[in-house]
Every structure is written in structure tokens, then in C-alpha cells.
Amino acid sequence: MYEFVTGPLAWLAFAVFFLGNFVRLVRYVRGLDWKLDRVAYGAHAAHGARGALRSILFWLIPFGTHSWRNNPGFTLLVFTLHVGLIFTPLFLLAHNILLEERWGFRLGSMPGWLADTLTIAVLVSAALLVLRRIALPEVRLITSAYDYALIGVAAAPFLSGLIARYAYAQSEFWLIVHVLCGELFLVAIPLTKLSHFVLFFATRAQIGMDFGIKRGGMKSRGLQW
């Protein structure tokens, strides 16, 4: 079973992940209205590119935007969650050993204590984000079971991985559960709201170009938009 979930099933999960995210990105770009969204982008590409990079950069920096600064607690939770979600799987020693065994390459590895810390941080952040959705009426109003399920899908690989690391009596069982949870997470990213993994950059780039060219960005150059 372990050979299957770390072999053919892993290949399938990665294929869905990469191909699905590529399709989501292409569909997003093709879905833009040529007259409404893209007008002036080609003629003022340099200003648009600067606006896009500025938008992406400031949203990737904690408290880099007014929205982040206006919600400091939420900002800390979001950044803690996403740092753990991205860096723990990439630089976990056990993952890199498996990468080298299966595909012949590996990335750098973080120490075990740091991986445990980030894993616990992800689980705590996910739990607090669930409580936030329950406690705040304005957030609870737009939350459905689907949203809670997605948080569960994102947190499951970390919870199962932590159990697999310390459940010595049934380590193989929990290791298989952990791998399956990770593959479910990979497949869910392009097929659900988790697609913001890639669409975040597309939407921020579009909005940055919009403001960099049209909405006041080029007023000093005579563009009245």
C-alpha cells in the first residue's frame, strides 16, 4: 500500500496539481474582458508591470497593506498558516528523502524541531481561523460547511504527519494516512477555493496593473481614467 500511495498515486496527485493550476491560470487570463480589463495594458506595459509587482509584493509582506494593518490578528494567523503550509512540506527532511528515493533530487532540509514548530503553528492557526468564522457574525454569515471542509483538508496533512512522527506503534498506518491527506490537499488546490494558491498572483497582478495605469496611476502623464 505504501509503495502505491507514494508511487502511482503520488504521480497522479502531482499531475492534477500542476495541470489543474495551469488550466485555472489560463482560464482566468482568457476570461478577462478585452475592453474592460485589458484596455491600455499593452500600450503602457511598463507602468502596468510596475503596478503588478508592487501589488503582489506589498500583499506578500505582513502589514504591507492597509487591509493587513487594519486586521493585525487576522494577518498574523494568515501569514503563520501560509508560511507553514508552504515551507514545511518543501523542506521537511522526510519529504526530501522520499523525493531523492523516488525522483532523484532533493531540496534543503529544516531541523526537526523547526518542522514540529511550524506544524503546530499551522494547526493552531487553522483552529483559530475556524473559531473566528464562528465568533464573528460578519464572517459567519458568508461561511458554509464547504469553507470548514477546506480548512480541514489543508490542516489534515499536518495533523496526520505529526501523529505519524510520534505514533511509533502504528507508524506505517499513520504514514499512509499522512501521504493520502497530502495528496488530497494537492488535488483540492486547483479544484476548489484553494486555487488562490496561484490565482492570488493573477488577481493581484491585474489589480496592480489597473491601478498602475488607469485608476490614477498615470494621471500625471495625461491619462484621465
Identify which of 212, 222, 189 has the alpha carbon closest to the alpha carbon of residue 16.
Answer: 189
Q: Determine contact, residues 74/223, Cβ cutoff 8 Å.
A: no
Number of domains in the chain: 1
CATH, residue 41: 1.20.950
Identify which of 84, 28, 41, 51 has the alpha carbon closest to the alpha carbon of residue 202.
Answer: 28
**pLDDT string in tens for the chain (225-residue length):** 877 887 788 889 999 999 999 999 999 888 876 666 555 566 666 777 788 888 899 999 898 888 899 989 999 999 999 999 999 998 888 888 877 777 777 788 889 899 999 999 999 999 999 999 999 999 999 999 999 999 999 999 999 999 988 876 567 888 889 999 999 999 999 999 999 999 999 888 888 887 777 665 555 555 544
d(CA 69, CA 78): 13
Q: Which residue has the cell 501521504?
A: 179
DSSP H or E segment with residue 23: helix 8-30
CA-to-CA separations, 208 to 88, 179, 198, in angstroms, rounded: 30, 38, 16
Residue range(s) defining the domain that contains residue 189: 2-221
d(CA 137, CA 160): 31
